Amino acid sequence: MKKILIFAALACITLSSCDKGVNFWGGVKPGHDNNNNTFNGPQVKMGYGLARSWITISHTGTPQEIGIEMTDDVLSGLPDTNFSVAIPMHIKAKETTPFDHLFIT
C-alpha cells in the first residue's frame, strides 16, 4: 500500500508538468519548446532504479517547471519500513529558486 501511495504522489507531480530535453531513455520529452531550457540533476539510486530531478527555465531566467523523472524499477526493491531519498537539484535550480533538493519519504 505504501508503494502505491508513493507512486500516486509522484505521478501527480510528474504528470502535471511537461518539459523539453532528453529523458532517461534518450528520447525527447514532450513539450519541446525553444523558449526554455531543461536542466537535469544528478541521478540517485532509488529501489532497483534511478531517479533524478529536472527544472525548466525560460530564456529570461524564470523557472517554469520542476519535476522528478524515474526509471521503471524505482518502485521495486524499496524497503518495507520507512525510508527517504533526497534528490539533488541542478545548480541552475539552486540559482533561480529556493530549492536545492526534492525529498521523497
Identify the band that residue 105 occupies on the pLDDT scale cut at 50, 70 and 90.
confident
Residue 62 DSSP label: -
98 burial class (0-12, 13-18, 19+ CB within 10 angstroms)? exposed
Tell me the residue range of the domain where 80 lies: 2-104
Sole residue written with cell 520542476? 66
Residue with cell 504528470: 15
The pLDDT of residue 43 is 95
DSSP state letter for 51? E
Number of domains in the chain: 1
pLDDT at 14: 44
pLDDT reported for residue 35: 81
pTM over 0.75: no
Confidence of residue 45 (pLDDT cuts 50, 70, 90): very high
Distance CA 61, CA 77 (A): 38
Residue 50: beta bridge partners? 45
5 pLDDT band (50/70/90 cuts)? very low
Rounded distance, CA 83 to CA 61, Å?
A: 35
